[in-house]
Amino acid sequence: MVDMNDPEVIESLKFLLVPKEERIQAQAKPFDGKKNVFIPDHKEGYIAATIESVDEKSGKTKAKTVKGDVKKWLNNFFNSFRK
């Protein structure tokens, strides 16, 4: 059982809980389930990105990450989500 009056627990909650203002901002962001995706990243594991274009003919997909990088794919993986 966790004692919420324990000073160690109170100290750790500063790092574990998201401030109310940040939660409100995150919830207010628009979300499009067909354009917002998570893509593999070598450093982060997965990173949020937005699909910018899909070339149906060649099957190439281009997405922009939250860091501003542009990633391209040569397969049809993301095209299946757009239909």
Domains contained in the chain, CATH given: 7-82 (2.30.30.360)
pLDDT higher at 37 or 81: 37
pLDDT of residue 31: 81
pLDDT higher at 11 or 75: 11
pLDDT in tens, 14-68: 888 888 999 999 889 888 888 888 888 888 888 888 888 888 777 788 889 888 8
pLDDT higher at 76 or 71: 71
Residue linked to tokens 């997405």? 63
pLDDT of residue 24: 93
The CA–CA distances, whole Å, from 33 to 30, 37, 80, 81, 83 equal: 10, 8, 12, 9, 12
